[in-house]
Amino acid sequence: MDFYNDLIRDTSALLQGTKSCAYPYTPGKAWPDAGRNEVILQRDTAFELNGVGFNLITSEPVESGIAVYGDELGSIRQSRHFARVCLIGMRDDAGDEQKTYDRIRKVEFVKYHCFPKGYMIRTASRSHKEVVRVSKSAVQGGISFEKVGNLLLSAYLEKPAVEGIKILFLTDPQLDYAKLEKIAAKTHAVTETLNHIMNSVNFDCSTCNLKPICDEVEGMRELHFKRAGM
C-alpha cells in the first residue's frame, strides 16, 4: 500500500537544498513523557509552533532518526510556522489489505498517546493541523527536537509493523509552508479515501466526493474495485 509515495517525493523535493541537522535514534536521549496531555497556559508559554503534522507511510526501507530543518527548540525566541513529518517504513502484508490498513490506523493513533513534558500538542483526528505550545520551563530544562523526536520514535517503534521511522521537524522561515500545507492536506485526503474504501458499503463512484483521489493515486482505484467485488 504505497499510496503516499508521490507525497514522499513531493516533500523531498520541497526540502531539497535546505540545510538540516540529523540525529540518530538514541532511546537514552528521549525527553520525558508527562503521561497525560498537559495544559500549558499562555503565561507559561515560551512560544508556539503553528502548522501541520502528518505521516507518510511506505513499504520502502527507512532508517530511524531525526532531522531538523531550521532552528532547534532552544534557539527559537518567538512563535513561527512549523511542520512535523513522519516518514514511516512499514511492513506490507502483500495480499492482505485489511491487515495492512489496520496497522496504518494503529500508527495514526500513536500521536494521541505520547505527551512530551512541556510540549503541548494540539491536533484533531480529522485534520492535518498541528499546533505545539512549548513551556518556558521546558526550554530552560533543555528541551530539543532531538529529545522529543527520540520519545516519539520509541512510541512509534513499539508497533510491530513499523520497521523504521524518520521524523522531520521543519522550522526554517525560508521553507514554503503553503506547499507543505497542500502536501499535508493531500496526505489527509489519501487517508480519508483509504478509510472510506475499507469501511464503506457505498461503492457508487458517481456520488463520492473522494473520487478525484481514487482516480489520481496509483493503486487506490484497484483496491476500491477489489473491495467492491468488481
All domains in the chain, ordered by first residue: 5-174 (3.30.1650.10)
Phi first, then psi, for residue 24 (nearest 5°) are: -75, 160
What is the pLDDT, as a whole number, of residue 81? 95
What is the pLDDT, as a whole number, of residue 76? 96
Other C-beta atoms within 10 Å of 144: how many? 20
Whole-model pTM: value is 0.84
What is the pLDDT, as a whole number, of residue 211? 60
What is the pLDDT, as a whole number, of residue 95? 61
Contact indicator for 33, 114 with CB cutoff of 8 Å: yes
Q: Tell me which amino acid residue 211 is.
A: K
What is the pLDDT, as a whole number, of residue 85? 97
**Which residues lie across from 89 on neighbouring strands?**
58, 164
What is the pLDDT, as a whole number, of residue 3? 80
User: How confident is the model over 194-226, as pLDDT tens digits?
Assistant: 776 666 655 555 555 556 555 555 555 455 545
Angle between helices 177-199 and 5-15 (to 10 degrees): 170
Query: Which of 153, 156, 157, 151 minimizes the C-alpha distance to 138?
Result: 151
Could you say which residues of the chain have pLDDT below 50?
221, 225, 230
CA distance 73 to 33: 17
Residue 5, classed as helix, strand or coil, is helix
CA distance 191 to 206: 20
Q: Tell me which amino acid residue 24 is.
A: P
What is the pLDDT, as a whole number, of residue 225? 47
